[in-house]
Amino acid sequence: DAKTTQPPSMDCAEGRAANLPCNHSTISGNEYVYWYRQIHSQGPQYIIHGLKNNETNEMASLIITEDRKSSTLILPHATLRDTAVYYCIVSSTGANSKLTFGKGITLSVRP
């Protein structure tokens, strides 16, 4: 599976949009971009995933560049409860595929 690069940390003000970047320049054609987050002392939580089109759900939006070498997770109105480690993962979806978690990016939402 392709590797991803994320900044170690970022912060944003409560109520503002949080834009979390991720680079995946070696992504293959059949690999999806997944985002998970882990709030302190909790299990990881699935957020969203996409192949090449932009995706939106009730939690976030995922913007994937046309060349698919990078993506941005957008939390439109960050709250204090969004403070967590966010993982960007690239993975295929075959039977033997697996999620390889990196260090992620620590998002701190400030009041």
Which residues would be at the binding site for other proteins (CB under 8 A)? 32, 34, 38, 41-46, 49, 85, 87, 89, 91-93, 95-101, 103
Contact (Cβ atoms closer than 8 angstroms) between residue 20 and residue 10: yes
Choose between 77 and 103: whose C-beta lies nearer to other proteins.
103
* Distance (Å, whole) CA 84 – CA 36: 10
Choose between 39 and 80: whose C-beta lies nearer to other proteins.
39
Cα 33–89–74 angle (5° rounding)? 65
Residue 1 neighbours by CB distance under 10 Å: 16
Contact (Cβ atoms closer than 8 angstroms) between residue 23 and residue 4: yes
How near is the Cβ of 76 to other proteins at its closest, in Å?
21
How near is the Cβ of 20 to other proteins at its closest, in Å?
17
* Distance (Å, whole) CA 47 – CA 86: 9
How near is the Cβ of 55 to other proteins at its closest, in Å?
12
